[in-house]
């Protein structure tokens, strides 16, 4: 397994991973799948691809990824556009995007370096998430930043337990019961 920088050839595979790891209630149609990718992936691939890392297997196939934004101003401008596109594909996901963006804009301005990570089921539970975060943290430190933040669903999820064990600290509750977590390094 290798963790490497994103390459354009990874785009289709990362979209599949984004859809596969999403809450399946919200990816039943092609439009919903497009909306999920607009919501959680496309901004990073198109605007901050230098902050996208890919977990690749021995055949160089993407099995997971981590994305991070270090440009809160660009994130805000572009994600307002994405929210409109999402709404056209799924009213519910568009509404979610609106509330998520309000939260994300504030968090990015305060904490910078908002991240999101997905790994296919076959590769979960094998410490690849730890390696992806380690590598992304090294990346942001090299850019002059010292902390990562993310929003996870709630305390009853596997993700919450993973991030807490890694060293992320819960900071506050956000919309829809989700929780802001911040990592300040080891």
Give the CATH number, domain containing residue 64: 3.40.630.30
Q: Is residue 30 part of a domain?
A: yes
Residue 106 has pLDDT above 90, yes or no: no
Confidence class of residue 154 from pLDDT cuts 50, 70 and 90?
A: low
Q: Is residue 177 part of a domain?
A: no
Q: What is the DSSP string of 54-95?
A: EEE-TT--EEEEEEEE--HHHHHHHHHHHHHHHHHH-HHHHH
Say how many domains are in the chain: 1
The percent of residues in the chain predicted with pLDDT above 70, rounded, is 96
Q: Is residue 182 part of a domain?
A: no
CA Rg value for the chain: 15
Q: What SS3 state is found at 120? A: coil
Residue 89 has pLDDT above 70, yes or no: yes
Strand partners, 178: none
Q: Is residue 152 part of a domain?
A: no
Residue 118 has pLDDT above 70, yes or no: yes
Q: Is residue 176 part of a domain?
A: no
Give the structural domain span for 7: 2-145
Assigned token pair, 86: 């999402």
More reliable by pLDDT, 123 or 74? 123
Q: Is residue 169 part of a domain?
A: no
Question: CA 181, CA 85: separation in Å to the nearest integer?
Answer: 28
């Amino acid at each position: 397994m290798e963790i490497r920088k994103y390459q354009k050839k990874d785009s289709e595979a990362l979209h599949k991973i984004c859809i596969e790891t999403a809450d399946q209630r919200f990816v039943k149609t092609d439009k919903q799948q497009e909306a999920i990718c607009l919501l959680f992936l496309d901004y990073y691939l198109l605007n901050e691809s230098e902050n996208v890392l890919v977990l690749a297997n021995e055949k160089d196939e993407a099995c997971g990824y981590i994305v991070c934004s270090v440009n809160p101003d660009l994130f805000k401008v572009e994600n307002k556009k994405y929210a409109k596109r999402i709404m056209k594909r799924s009213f519910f996901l568009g509404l979610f995007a609106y509330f998520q963006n309000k939260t994300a804009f504030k968090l990015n301005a305060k904490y910078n370096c908002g991240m999101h990570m997905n790994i296919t089921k076959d590769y979960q539970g094998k410490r690849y998430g730890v390696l992806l975060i380690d590598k992304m943290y090294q990346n942001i430190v090299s850019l002059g930043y010292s902390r990562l933040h993310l929003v996870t669903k709630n305390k009853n999820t596997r993700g919450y337990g993973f991030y807490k064990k890694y060293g992320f600290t819960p900071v506050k509750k956000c919309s829809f019961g989700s929780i802001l977590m911040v990592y300040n390094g080891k």
